[in-house]
Amino acid sequence: MRLGGESDPPNKALMKMFNLINIDERAGSGVLNIFNVWADEGWEETIIEDRFDPDRTILSLSFKKSGDKKVTKKTQMQYDKILEFMEEGKEYGIWHFCELLGLKESRTKDILKGLSDRIEIIGSNRDRRYKKK
């Protein structure tokens, strides 16, 4: 089930629900997509439990963030780009990074939060500046 591929859905109503929210395309990759989304979002790992008599497969999904959030390749490339761009001792505004990454301010702030161990945040809100540690 976790590897994906052809399968017979044991619960047609659940399959229809996933299809309506565009998670499943009836290609046998629905469960695999769920695992990928959970990993990308950094939520706790999904748990598959097989039970017998009656036969059941239970997929437990938690929206809790795991302690070790995995960083996607794209986000890691953005981190690297920011760190290469920044010069020691120089302060930068959010607009510098928005322009550098070609992203909106909200997403850029999220990326900068991920670098909190490598960059220093100076000031608050409108006056916020960023400096390499």
Residue 102 resides in a domain? yes
d(CA 38, CA 44) in angstroms, rounded, equals 7
pLDDT reported for residue 64:
75
Same domain, 109 and 85: yes
* Amino acid letter, residue 120: E
Whichever domain contains 119, its CATH number is 1.10.10.10
- Which residues constitute the domain of residue 54? 12-60
In a domain, residue 7? The reply is no
Count of domains for the chain: 2
In a domain, 68, yes or no: no
| Claim to verify: residue 77 and residue 113 sit in the same structural domain | yes
Encode burial over 108-124: b for 16+ CB neighbours within 10 A, e otherwise: beebbebbeeebeeeee
Regarding whether 53 and 104 lie in a shared domain, the answer is no
Same-domain check for residues 36 and 81: no
- The answer to whether residue 65 sits within a structural domain is no
Task: State the pLDDT at residue 7.
Answer: 63
Q: Which residues of the chain have pLDDT under 50?
A: none
18 to 13, 31, 58, 106: CA distances (angstroms): 9, 10, 16, 29
pLDDT recorded at residue 95: 93
pLDDT digits (tens, 9 = 90+) for 74-95: 999 999 999 999 999 999 999 9
Spatial separation of the C-alpha atoms in residues 80 and 72, rounded to whole Å:
12
80 & 115 share domain: yes
